[in-house]
Structure 1
Amino acid sequence: MDKNELKQFSVALRLVEGKDLGAALDIILPYVESHPYVPYSEDVKDIKENFRLMLHYMELGVEDDMRESMYNDMLDKLKGGIRNLRSDYRRRNVDFYKDAYSRASVKTNSFSEKAIRMQMEDFVSDLAMLQLESVEKRDKMADELYLSHYSFMQALFCHIVVSELWTEEQASAIGDIILSPTVDSGDAQVVVSAMMLSVMNNFDINKFRVLVRIYSEAKDEALKQKALIAWTLSVTDGVDSALQLQIMSPLLSRDDVVRDLLDLQKQMVFCMNAENDNDIIQRDIMPTLVKNSNLTSYRLGIEDNDQELRDILDPEADDRSMEEVENKFQKMIEMQKSGADIYFGGFSQMKRFSFFYSLPNWFFPFSLNHPELHRVKDSLKRNRFLTNLMATGPFCDSDKYSFALAVVSVIDKIPSDMIEMMNHGEMPKQQFISDEEMATPAYLRRRALQDLYRFYRLYRWHNQIYNPFDTDNVLFMACSLFDNTAVSEKRVELGNFLLSRREAILLSKLMPKLQFDGSVAGYLVKGGYYLEMSRDFVEAKECFMKAAYFSGDDIRALRGMAKAAFHSNDLKMAENAYRKLYTLEPDNKSYALHYAIVCSKMGDFEQAAKILYELDYKYPESSNVKRVLAWTLMGENKLEQAAKIYAKLLDSDTVGDMDLLNAGYCKWFMKDISGATTLFAEYCENLLKSRKDSSAPDYLSISNILDEDFINDGAMLNCFGITAVEMILIKRITYKLTRDK
């Protein structure tokens, strides 16, 4: 595969979209002339000749009322020609397309619209007619029917994926077939998935049109949701933009569609976090399940392998273990309900079966009648537990195929008593999701997205095609085609979602698309991004100020403004914001504590102490309250009281490096130079260790650490008349202590 040649197609198409016919021809003609026998080369040469004639008559000064329409016609023809040339190139040079093309070519059947309809409708009627056959004949005839039909559907899928541009008539005919009640829903979903792959990788306005139509008219909810995913992920900036918008506009005016698009966008973000969710499960949940793996399931419930001994030593151990296991299972259930893909980690290891080497198999709805499950079908159907699991388990279709294929390899090795137990349906089961919820559009959409995500992460040639889950592609709601539509009005809500999940990269890509004029929610999202992610406290402060102005001091705006002002060292604004928050919610510990901190930093130690004494009374075990109180007491020159608090903090389990520094200040102000420098030395050593600096401390590193702190705490040092010379001497003594250790 020559990436430079592939790039030529993209560059030429961008020039066509920019209506520069001559420049596009200059790019694509060298390829056509070096490949004279490829399809559509003659079409491009015809366009070149017509363009030459147009230029010639223009130079002669000939007036032509049709010149502009002819020019646009040539642009449209060249655009289609380039896309078809690209399809041909991929079929011959790119592994993904070469494999699909070869699979499509295996089937000798015609893929005309008439032949497709006949095959798909005949399958449904033939399947129904099997019920008239004897039981002896029925199973064998069914196997033959499914084998033939799956073979056709696999070839059809690949044919559509590598197909050239469709005419409007072709697309309309396919739409009629897919929406026909005489066609199997699973087959219809397979065709929609194939069209999606085709459009995403070689945009075709007519395929796009029929996907939107299927979503609008489909009665089957699973088909409808796959069509929604298909046309949404196919929306492309800068390609037939006006036509795309014209096709989508009736849908984008509907509140239910806009809400579905927002939910779809959120679900895609959840999919992208599958690996992180798996890490959480492996770190926080699986150790508990493994630890309690000695609990074995029997007919009468849970029985411990060492029951008698455990009953003697710890009679309540079983109850605690079961409660712990149940809590961890509940955590997984809550993760799943919130949108997490909790099964990706386990099932991603089960995609190495040859089944998944075939592109179409990633997109078939799960069915035990798939020919590649022939060996295990009877065993699975006889097993009540496995049948229920396949029918109602909260897994996407791809994972169900993985599970079924895994069963093939181990079914003969499972002990007979376990098989019996499973056949009687006596295995313990957990109702992760209700039947009603499993039939909802949101669940069906999430399951389809999980199938798609696995394909783009695990298929052997996934990196050769456009990936809608890439960071640069995943935010379809940021697409310019959605500007000035109802979708753009949901971007602030999406931004708030990304902010809550700390998706810094994705939020940064959405930021230019957020509208802020008078929008409190917009300014809150923007302020949150600057505050929590980019750490631009000045910009964050400005955003929260505007949010507070437009909202009349909304508490979220005040909270953000207070935090941003504090971090940007605008103590006056921070004091004003925290005072308002404290007044609004005097029982809020965080507001009270931060208000006291700001008061203390501004030198209003009396007000700070008043708040802190009350907090210390309410929260006697709070180390943070005691830290601020000790600092405030120092400001009031109550050094003995401050020293007692610091002594307790240094002796506690929650002692921190800043406790060492501040306790050192206290001793310094009490003229205990030895005690102060000992604490400063320990503080500096801890900081150097945290920076993974294994070298012996030198004077410069000690000096730099303490200089920064002395500057930050200059107001307090000034209160006690500490001079620059004293600071230098303290640094020197501290260095001497670290050196002599």
Structure 2
Amino acid sequence: MERNKELDDILELLAGQRLGLAIEYLESFFCKYPELGFADVFDGIKNDYRLMADYWAGGYRDPQLDGIYRRLTRYMYSLTSNVMLRHIIAHVPFFSSSHRAVAASRRDWTVAAIQRDLEEFVSEVAMLQFEPEHIKREKKARIYAGHQSLMSELFNRIWLSEQWTEEQSHAYEELMLSPTVDVNDRALMVSAVMLSAMNVFDVNKLGLLINVYRRSMDDKVSQRALVGWVFSLGKGKERLFPEERQMVEELLKSEKVCEELTELQIQLLYCVSAESDNNTIQKEIIPDLLKNNNFHITRNGIEERDEDPMQDIFHPEESESNMEKVEQSFRRMVDMQKAGSDIYFGGFSQMKRFPFFDNISNWFVPFYKEHPAVAPVCDSGNNGKLVQKIIGSGPFCDSDKYSFVLAFTQVIDRIPQSMREMIGNGEVAGVARIMDIDNRSAAYIRRIYLQDIYRFFRLYPSRTHFYNPFDYRKGEKWHADYIFFAHSIFKGTALSKKNSEIVTFLMKRRMYGEAAEVLDCYADKDKDYQYYMLCGNVLLHKKNVILHDSLSGYTASECFRKAMECRPDDKRALMGYARACFYEGNYVEACDAYGELMEKEPDKKSYLVGYGVCLTNLERYDEALKVLYRLDYEYPEDYTVRRVLARALVGDGKYEQAKNIYLKLSGGDNDDAEDIVNFGFCEWFAGNNREAARLFARYLKTIYPNSTTDYYRERAEAEIIRSELGFIENHGVGMVDIQLMLDLISVEILR
């Protein structure tokens, strides 16, 4: 979103309650942009501030001073936020054109008038049942067309609105809770409030969304309000608006609210994975579906293949095998959808270019078949029934339902008759049965709405003008709004008990940076065994993690040690400590930790392997080989054991034994680049310098194909020599030998 940095800085000052400096900066800003207005309001605040400051400077302290100062600061915040919005409207063409349309409207936009118009629509629709059929169709189209125009204007008016007073907020709240207003209208208004409060924080709009979530009896409205208030939370505004935290804490007294917030967080994480999930579908699942079914796609649409009459005679099992593969691929996609993946994003993302989606409100409007854009298709006899059966049986979000209907008229003639009959007979409804979806549950309604929002922020042509909660902004204090569990407002609240569940989920999806953000939000009283275990595991992936305040001073081993202090006899903590010490290069501590684990379970393979590796790295080869020979005997097909054994044999000077293992390791399915370089060391230390150089050259070409000679030389020095310098020198290799080997590697690379 195009925000003005000067105004953002002023809002930051006000959040920190530095009123005098904020007034000075805003006065300077008005000198550059006098056309934005608000001069009278600003002068009033400035004069009140000066009177207060002068009175205090004279040695008089008003008993109400703190309250007056806070009230003026909040007035100033409201004013600056309105200036911010007007500045955006004046300098962003999309906002300008939307605002002009709102300003040009001659409707009565008082809340009472809006409610009257919305209730009148409900009455008119109800009265249609008494009209003759030939009049009913035309009148119905006219009523819905007029209503859609009203809601589009109202949506724009709300999301472009300035800061609301408590009275305005309360009036709209009652409107959105009114049972006499159509539920789709109430849901759409909630979305407009969310969009407005996300762009420019407004504590009264936030309060409206929280109250609608708390009070609404309709899940379609309440779940939109839940998503809305979570996305509309202020960033560092709690000091200026303490009621924000009070409202949230009051909500969190309910276990149901905590459960829904946890579900919402997980659903958001599935949303941001939509692109990667789509890649999986396009590259792995769809090709199998197309290869093994009886249809193929041509430039003229989907065509049915002619069946080969001889196929069943010569290959009777192939048809059944193909069907099994199709079902397996289909079920894999269904399993992804069941888990929460947005499997339709990729396909429907190509269907958002219809003029329908030029209207911003249409991205958020709940699907209803009477919408003027889709009513002609939905009411068109058999085709209409076909459309309604498809969108009624599939778990599509509202945005995708509109896309489907709009695209349907262009492809209906290209769908094979057999497929149309299959859909018409309800066979496609099997999708819903397999997925066993309760499309009336709050979780389902929320997930579908999140998919609508995600499509807007990823596909709407003017999306860059809005603050996008799905972006991950590296380097900023607030990295990702979609990780709302990391918001400071939840720190130390009843929701904190769900933190471990979210961090664990993030780590399973390898989202370590996001996991670190949530861990940074733990209050000191919540830092228990589980916290330190999670911290240790996140820090084991330190290269992928942006370290925050509470993690920046820790190493992974220190976290696991603290977990051990919480539970001294816990094997998981001790195992974590052993692994962390190993990865940090502290092999002595790691070896001791693995030794303790072996005392508890002497025959556990992972402990023995870890112990053997540590002994090898400490060059205690005799001890290492005793352990590794045993493991090789007990697990003769374990390639990890064989690799460690070979390395220990090289270290102990048993080059022929090591060579035999490396020859068995190389060239098979388990061939590994590290095996090649270690084989090179084996040959080098055994005096086979040319063969060693060939192996090192092969390693470099495997890791860095098609690179320059200079780059290969640089990598050889860094990865083969410097990283293993101690190991090399301990085998009697001097600096001259090293330089000659580097030259020989360069020669072998050119062969």
- Please give the TM-score of this superposition, normalised by the length of structure 2: 0.87
Match of 1:724 among 707, 715, 734: 734
Give percent identity, aligned residues only: 35
Q: What secondary structure is seen at the aligned counterpart in 1 of 2:374?
A: helix
Counterpart of 1:477 in structure 2: which amino acid? F
**Match in the other structure for 1:177:** 175
Separation (CA, whole Å) in 1 of partners of 2:484 and 2:750: 62
Separation (CA, whole Å) in 2 of partners of 1:468 and 1:709: 43
Counterpart of 1:238 in structure 2: which amino acid? G
**Match in the other structure for 1:196:** 194
**Match in the other structure for 2:276:** 276
Question: How far apart are 1:7 and its partner, in Å?
Answer: 3.1
Counterpart of 2:283 in structure 1: which amino acid? R
**391-400 or 199-208, larger mean C-alpha shift:** 199-208
Separation (CA, whole Å) in 2 of partners of 1:511 and 1:199: 27
Question: How far apart are 1:490 and its partner, in Å?
Answer: 3.1
- Which consecutive unaligned segments of at least 5 residues does structure 1 have? none
**445-454 or 380-389, larger mean C-alpha shift:** 380-389
Counterpart of 1:493 in structure 2: which amino acid? E
Rate the CA distance shift 1:31–1:103 in 2: closer, same or farther, 3 A.
Answer: same
Separation (CA, whole Å) in 1 of partners of 2:34 and 2:657: 92
**Match in the other structure for 1:74:** 72
Q: What secondary structure is seen at the aligned counterpart in 1 of 2:95?
A: helix
The C-alpha deviation readout for 1:314-343, integer Å capped at 9, x for no partner, is: 332222222222222222122222222111
Matches within 5 A, 1:570-719: 570-582=586-598, 589-603=605-619, 605=621, 608-609=624-625, 611-633=627-649, 640-667=656-683, 671=686, 673-674=687-688, 677-688=690-701, 690-692=703-705, 694-696=707-709, 702=716, 705-708=719-722, 710-711=724-725, 713-714=727-728, 718=730
2:486–2:518 contact (8 Å) kept in structure 1: yes
1:90–1:97 contact (8 Å) kept in structure 2: yes
Matches within 5 A, 1:59-208: 64-65=62-63, 68-105=66-103, 107-208=105-206
**Match in the other structure for 1:509:** 517
1:24 maps onto 2:22 in alignment: yes
**163-172 or 532-541, larger mean C-alpha shift:** 532-541
1:394–1:432 contact (8 Å) kept in structure 2: no
Match of 2:543 among 498, 509, 534: 534
**Match in the other structure for 1:209:** 207
Separation (CA, whole Å) in 1 of partners of 2:746 and 2:359: 71
Separation (CA, whole Å) in 1 of partners of 2:614 and 2:192: 61
Question: How far apart are 1:36 and its partner, in Å?
Answer: 5.5
1:403 maps onto 2:404 in alignment: yes
**Match in the other structure for 1:346:** 347
Counterpart of 1:319 in structure 2: which amino acid? E
**Match in the other structure for 2:475:** none
Question: How far apart are 1:594 and its partner, in Å?
Answer: 2.7
Rate the CA distance shift 1:117–1:727 in 2: closer, same or farther, 3 A.
Answer: same
1:161–1:194 contact (8 Å) kept in structure 2: yes
**Match in the other structure for 2:550:** none
Matches within 5 A, 1:435-584: 437-471=438-472, 472=479, 473-515=481-523, 519-534=528-543, 539-582=555-598
Separation (CA, whole Å) in 1 of partners of 2:652 and 2:699: 29
The C-alpha deviation readout for 1:601-647, integer Å capped at 9, x for no partner, is: 34555654455455445544332232233344556665554443333
**Match in the other structure for 2:326:** 325
The C-alpha deviation readout for 1:21-53, integer Å capped at 9, x for no partner, is: 332222223444566565532121222333344
Separation (CA, whole Å) in 2 of partners of 1:146 and 1:733: 81
Counterpart of 2:217 in structure 1: which amino acid? K
Separation (CA, whole Å) in 1 of partners of 2:627 and 2:682: 21
**Match in the other structure for 2:549:** none
The C-alpha deviation readout for 1:632-676, integer Å capped at 9, x for no partner, is: 45566655544433332235343333333444454556x5x33x5
Separation (CA, whole Å) in 2 of partners of 1:643 and 1:413: 64
Counterpart of 2:347 in structure 1: which amino acid? G
Counterpart of 2:73 in structure 1: which amino acid? L
Separation (CA, whole Å) in 1 of partners of 2:422 and 2:294: 19
Separation (CA, whole Å) in 2 of partners of 1:469 and 1:75: 31
**Match in the other structure for 1:225:** 223
1:384–1:422 contact (8 Å) kept in structure 2: no
Separation (CA, whole Å) in 2 of partners of 1:182 and 1:736: 82
1:482–1:488 contact (8 Å) kept in structure 2: yes
Question: How far apart are 1:158 and its partner, in Å?
Answer: 0.9
1:106–1:155 contact (8 Å) kept in structure 2: no
Rate the CA distance shift 1:436–1:658 in 2: closer, same or farther, 3 A.
Answer: closer
The C-alpha deviation readout for 1:116-141, integer Å capped at 9, x for no partner, is: 22122222222222222233332222
The C-alpha deviation readout for 1:493-518, integer Å capped at 9, x for no partner, is: 32232222221332343443235675
Counterpart of 1:283 in structure 2: which amino acid? K
2:513–2:544 contact (8 Å) kept in structure 1: no
1:289–1:325 contact (8 Å) kept in structure 2: yes
1:386–1:422 contact (8 Å) kept in structure 2: no
Q: What secondary structure is seen at the aligned counterpart in 1 of 2:138?
A: helix
Q: What secondary structure is seen at the aligned counterpart in 1 of 2:470?
A: coil
Counterpart of 1:144 in structure 2: which amino acid? R
Rate the CA distance shift 1:104–1:700 in 2: closer, same or farther, 3 A.
Answer: closer
1:660–1:680 contact (8 Å) kept in structure 2: no
Q: What secondary structure is seen at the aligned counterpart in 1 of 2:195?
A: helix
The C-alpha deviation readout for 1:189-231, integer Å capped at 9, x for no partner, is: 1011111111122222222212111111111112111111111
Separation (CA, whole Å) in 1 of partners of 2:73 and 2:694: 75
2:94–2:462 contact (8 Å) kept in structure 1: yes
Q: What secondary structure is seen at the aligned counterpart in 2 of 1:713?
A: helix
Separation (CA, whole Å) in 1 of partners of 2:387 and 2:444: 21
Question: How far apart are 1:728 and its partner, in Å?
Answer: 4.2
Question: How far apart are 1:371 and its partner, in Å?
Answer: 0.6
Counterpart of 2:323 in structure 1: which amino acid? M
Separation (CA, whole Å) in 2 of partners of 1:651 and 1:470: 44
1:562–1:573 contact (8 Å) kept in structure 2: yes
Q: What secondary structure is seen at the aligned counterpart in 2 of 1:460?
A: coil
Q: What secondary structure is seen at the aligned counterpart in 2 of 1:624?
A: helix
Separation (CA, whole Å) in 2 of partners of 1:69 and 1:664: 76
Rate the CA distance shift 1:653–1:488 in 2: closer, same or farther, 3 A.
Answer: closer
Question: How far apart are 1:586 and its partner, in Å?
Answer: 6.0
**Match in the other structure for 1:290:** 290
Separation (CA, whole Å) in 2 of partners of 1:706 and 1:85: 61
- Which consecutive unaligned segments of at least 5 residues does structure 2 have? 298-302, 473-478, 546-552
1:597–1:608 contact (8 Å) kept in structure 2: yes
Rate the CA distance shift 1:444–1:554 in 2: closer, same or farther, 3 A.
Answer: farther
1:258 maps onto 2:271 in alignment: no
Separation (CA, whole Å) in 2 of partners of 1:609 and 1:724: 27
Separation (CA, whole Å) in 2 of partners of 1:344 and 1:61: 65
Counterpart of 1:523 in structure 2: which amino acid? Y
2:632–2:638 contact (8 Å) kept in structure 1: yes
1:631–1:662 contact (8 Å) kept in structure 2: yes
The C-alpha deviation readout for 1:175-202, integer Å capped at 9, x for no partner, is: 2222222222111110111111111222
Question: How far apart are 1:356 and its partner, in Å?
Answer: 0.8
The C-alpha deviation readout for 1:224-253, integer Å capped at 9, x for no partner, is: 111111111111133343021122221122
Counterpart of 1:224 in structure 2: which amino acid? S
Matches within 5 A, 1:301-380: 305-379=306-380
**Match in the other structure for 2:10:** 12
- Please give the TM-score of this superposition, normalised by the length of structure 1: 0.89
